Amino acid sequence: MEFTDVQLELFDTMTDLKLRARNYPLDEHPVEMTDKHYIIKMISILGREFYLWNPSPEEMQWTEDKTAAYRYSDTDIGRQTLAYDLHDAIKMKKERGLDGACLTEEING
């Protein structure tokens, strides 16, 4: 069985890592990475830290790679979105019976 170019791209590990390694705020507000922004972090009772990767309420996803965390800019809309997504993350954590804490972390503050 041979893979097509599309299949190779779908299963390419390096491409997947590059897509997940985010280095700019994603809430569509133009700010530099050196500017203050926020991420949502979940700390388990065992001390493992997880960062919100996909804030969609239907399919919330987490990663252990801090550089891949969804980033919120330090703007009014960014802070409002952060508060809304944090509320959804806490709700998801309770629904799944996960022990630990969900909190925000300031970057470049």
Using one digit for the tens of pLDDT, what is the confidence trace for 8-27? 455 456 666 666 665 555 65
Query: How much is the pLDDT for 8?
Result: 47
pLDDT above 90 covers what percent of the chain? Answer: 25
* CB neighbourhood size of 74 (10 A): 18
Residue 35 backbone class (left: φ over 0; alpha: ψ -120 to 50; beta: rest): beta
Instruction: Please give the model's pTM, rounded to 2 decimal places.
Output: 0.72
* pLDDT block averages, 10 residues each, the chain of length 109: 48 60 56 79 91 87 86 87 94 88 90
